[in-house]
Amino acid sequence: MKKVVVVTGASSGIGLALCERLLCEDDGLHLCLACRNLGKAEAARVALLSSHPRAEITLIQIDVSNLQSVFQASRELKQRFERLDYLYVNAGIMPNPQLNLKALFSGLFSRKVFHMFSTAEGLLTQDDRVTTDGLQEVFETNVFGHFILLWLFRQKPEFLNPLTKYHSATTGLGNNYVSPQKMDLDEETAEKFYQNLLDLEKRFGAIRAKSLDSGSEK
């Protein structure tokens, strides 16, 4: 069987561009677009097939901000594929900053007025809703849903270097490359953050165990 590559949030933006690049570089893979909106995922599949007609592309539905959906998608992935070679944790959201009128008026008549206009601190608020799992949506989407997905594939997240981020870059001649850069974070803080993730993961442990059991019934 071909190498199986799963890309979350593959229906648009960087995820879709990544799929295009993967297909250009390796015709020996099976690409699985893991998206929350199957209509958009199908449109992405059609677009990819138009430039790579012989590519093997399947779709899987996943909402990484919903643990039940992550478990369901994991079960489906296990049922459909005998192997999983690469998982690109790309899906993500940014909270929309909005002007906070109340803060603007109270800031105008405070000693912080200069600071407020020079940094926008207090002027803008970012709305982040709470998901059905009781977590902040940005956190669950960008971090925790993917963290659980890694566990479900028996990958230990420890193998990722918590102090490194990877930048996709292009040279003046148009060659693409990846540049690892040290994150502005010390090891102790990274460790604390990781411990918090593990504690949170325990809270959902029972659901996870149940999910894994039903996944192994196939």
- Give the residues lining the site for ligand NAP (CB under 6 A): 8-9, 11-15, 35-37, 40, 62-65, 90-94, 141-142
DSSP state, 158? Answer: G
* Closer residue to ligand NAP in complex, CB, 18/116: 18
DSSP state, 164? Answer: E
Strand partners, 4: 30
Closest distance between ligand NAP and the C-beta of residue 103, in Å? 26
Angstrom distances, CA of residue 145 to CA of 61, 70, 82, 91: 14, 7, 22, 10
92/29 Cα distance (integer angstroms): 24
- Which residue's Cβ has the minimum distance to ligand NAP? 92
Intra-chain end-to-end CA distance of the chain, in Å: 19
* Closer residue to ligand NAP in complex, CB, 72/116: 72
* Closer residue to ligand NAP in complex, CB, 44/116: 44
64 and 141 Cβ atoms separated by less than 8 Å: yes
* Closer residue to ligand NAP in complex, CB, 13/205: 13
